[in-house]
C-alpha cells in the first residue's frame, strides 16, 4: 500500500565493528526513507565506535516466522551428534535414565524390525560412499546413512530400548533375535541395488508411520525426513530407468530384491492390514516403478523369517571390530 508523504517507517539496524565478525542486529530507528534511516543509524551507532559495516532494513520487508511456523523451525534431523557438546552430554547421561515413552506393546515388533532395517541400510550405504560417481551423490548418501542411524535409534526406543541402551540394542543383541527384511541379503551390492533398497525402505517406513497409533513430534519429524528420503531415491530410480545402458541391470536388481521385499511390512500389526500391500504397490508406481515390474508383488505381506542370522552376525562382527580399534569412550 502506498505511504503518505513523510510517513515514518521502522528500520532494523545491523552493524559489525570488524570484517571477521558476523553482522548483528543492534536495534531499530524510525525514518521516512532508507537513506535517512542509514544516516540516523550512523549517528546513533557509530558515534563512539568505528564500524566496518552498517545496514538498515525496513521492518516491513522482513519475512519473519510466527507461532504456526514453529514445527518447521525444528531441526530437520534426529542426529544429536551434530549438536554442540553432544559427546560430553552423552557420556555424562545417567545410566539409569528412564526410557522414552515406548509404543504400545502390539506395535513394538514392527518398530524393532524397522529399526534393524534402518541400521542395516546405513551400514550398506556407508560402505559404498567412495563408489558413488558424483561428489554430490556421495554427500547425499552420507547424510541419508547418518539419518537412518538416527531414525533407527528413535524406533529402537519406541520398541522398548532405553535411551542409554541403544548401542547395546544393536551391537550386543544376538543375531538370532533380529528380524530384519531379506532385502539386505538378496541381490547385488551395486548402485542400482542400493537405490532399490533405499526406495523400498523409505516407502515402507512412510506407510508404517501413516498407519501408526504412536503420536509425538519426534515420530512426525521422522516421517517428514523419510518422505525426503523416498523423494531422493525416486529421483535416482528415474535417472537409472532413463539410462538405456543401465535399465536392464536396474530391472534385474529390482526383481531379485522384490522377491523378498514382500516381508517389509510382514510384522504385527501391519501384516494383518488388508490394504497395506496394495497401497505399498501404488506408492511404488507413483515413485516411478513400472507397473509391469510388480507382477510378482504379493497381495499380502509375507512374514519375516529368522533366516539371515549369518549375514547379521557378519555385519555386527565387522562393526564391533572397528569399535574395538579405538580407546574406550571414542566410539559412543
pLDDT of residue 329: 52
Question: For residue 50, which of 78, 15, 22 has the smallest C-alpha distance?
Answer: 15
**Statement: residue 293 has pLDDT above 70:** yes
CA dist., res. 200 & res. 267, Å (int): 16
For residue range 305-317, what is the model confidence (pLDDT) as tens digits? 888 889 999 888 8
**Statement: residue 78 has pLDDT above 70:** no
Which residues have C-beta within 8 Å of that of residue 256, sequence separation ≥ 6? 186, 187, 188, 193
Average pLDDT estimate for 24-31: 92
Q: Is the dihedral of CA 28, 30, 35, 41 positive or negative?
A: negative
pLDDT of residue 198: 95
pLDDT of residue 4: 57
Contact 162, 107 (CB under 8 A): no
**Statement: residue 3 has pLDDT above 90:** no
Of 71 and 76, more confident = 71
Of 209 and 53, more confident = 53
Of 71 and 99, more confident = 71
Q: Give backbone dihedrals phi and psi of 258, rounded to 5 degrees, phi first.
A: -60, -30
Helix (H) or strand (E) holding 55: strand 53-58
- Mean per-residue pLDDT of the chain: 82
Confidence of residue 103 (pLDDT cuts 50, 70, 90): low
pLDDT of residue 321: 81
Please report which residue ranges of the chain form alpha helices under DSSP H: 34-45, 70-73, 86-92, 108-126, 135-158, 166-171, 191-210, 217-242, 244-261, 276-286, 309-325
Average pLDDT estimate for 239-259: 93
Contact 41, 54 (CB under 8 A): yes
Confidence of residue 193 (pLDDT cuts 50, 70, 90): very high
Least confident window among 14-23, 73-82, 225-234, 298-307: 73-82
**Statement: residue 221 has pLDDT above 80:** no
Please name every residue paired with 11 in a beta bridge, in sequence order, or none if there are none: 29, 58
Question: For residue 144, which of 170, 166, 126, 117 has the smallest C-alpha distance?
Answer: 126
For residue range 44-74, what is the model confidence (pLDDT) as tens digits? 888 778 899 999 999 999 988 887 777 666 6
Confidence of residue 268 (pLDDT cuts 50, 70, 90): confident
CA dist., res. 120 & res. 183, Å (int): 10
Which residues have C-beta within 8 Å of that of residue 311, sequence separation ≥ 6? 184, 185
**Statement: residue 96 has pLDDT above 50:** no
pLDDT of residue 324: 75
Question: For residue 45, which of 58, 26, 65 has the smallest C-alpha distance?
Answer: 26
**Statement: residue 187 has pLDDT above 90:** no
Tell me whether strands 9-16 and 53-58 are parallel, antiparallel or unpaired.
Answer: antiparallel
Amino acid at each position: 500500500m502506498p505511504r503518505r508523504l513523510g510517513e515514518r517507517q521502522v528500520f532494523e539496524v545491523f552493524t559489525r565493528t570488524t570484517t571477521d565478525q558476523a553482522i548483528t542486529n543492534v536495534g531499530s530507528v524510525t525514518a521516512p526513507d532508507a537513506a535517512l534511516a542509514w544516516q540516523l543509524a550512523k549517528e546513533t551507532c557509530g558515534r563512539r565506535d568505528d564500524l566496518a559495516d552498517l545496514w538498515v532494513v525496513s521492518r516491513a520487508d522482513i519475512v519473519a516466522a510466527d507461532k504456526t511456523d514453529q514445527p518447521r523451525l525444528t531441526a530437520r534431523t534426529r542426529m544429536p551428534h551434530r549438536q554442540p557438546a553432544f559427546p560430553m552430554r552423552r557420556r555424562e547421561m545417567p545410566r539409569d535414565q528412564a526410557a522414552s515413552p515406548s509404543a504400545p506393546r502390539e506395535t513394538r515388533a514392527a518398530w524393532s524390525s524397522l529399526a534393524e532395517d534402518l541400521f542395516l541400510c546405513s551400514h550398506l550405504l556407508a560402505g559404498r560412499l567412495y563408489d558413488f560417481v558424483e561428489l554430490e551423490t556421495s554427500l547425499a548418501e552420507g547424510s541419508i546413512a547418518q539419518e537412518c542411524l538416527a531414525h533407527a535409534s528413535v524406533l529402537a526406543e519406541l520398541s522398548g530400548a532405553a535411551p542409554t541402551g541403544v548401542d547395546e540394542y544393536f551391537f550386543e543383541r544376538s543375531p538370532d533375535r533380529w528380524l530384519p527384511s531379506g532385502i539386505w541379503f538378496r541381490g547385488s551390492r551395486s548402485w542400482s541395488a542400493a537405490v532399490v533398497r533405499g526406495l523400498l525402505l523409505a516407502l515402507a517406513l512412510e506407510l508404517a508411520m501413516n498407519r501408526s497409533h504412536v503420536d509425538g513430534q519426534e515420530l512426525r519429524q521422522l516421517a517428514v525426513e523419510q518422505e525426503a528420503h523416498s523423494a531422493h531415491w525416486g529421483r535416482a530410480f528415474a535417472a537409472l530407468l532413463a539410462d538405456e545402458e543401465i535399465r536392464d541391470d536396474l530391472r534385474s536388481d529390482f526383481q531379485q530384491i522384490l522377491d523378498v521385499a514382500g516381508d517389509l511390512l510382514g510384522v504385527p500389526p501391519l501384516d494383518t492390514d488388508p490394504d497395506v500391500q496394495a497401497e505399498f504397490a501404488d506408492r511404488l508406481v507413483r515413485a516411478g516403478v513400472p507397473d509391469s515390474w510388480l507382477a510378482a508383488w504379493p497381495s499380502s505381506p509375507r512374514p519375516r523369517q529368522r533366516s539371515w542370522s549369518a549375514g547379521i552376525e557378519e555385519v555386527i562382527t565387522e562393526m564391533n571390530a572397528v569399535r574395538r580399534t579405538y580407546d574406550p569412550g571414542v566410539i559412543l
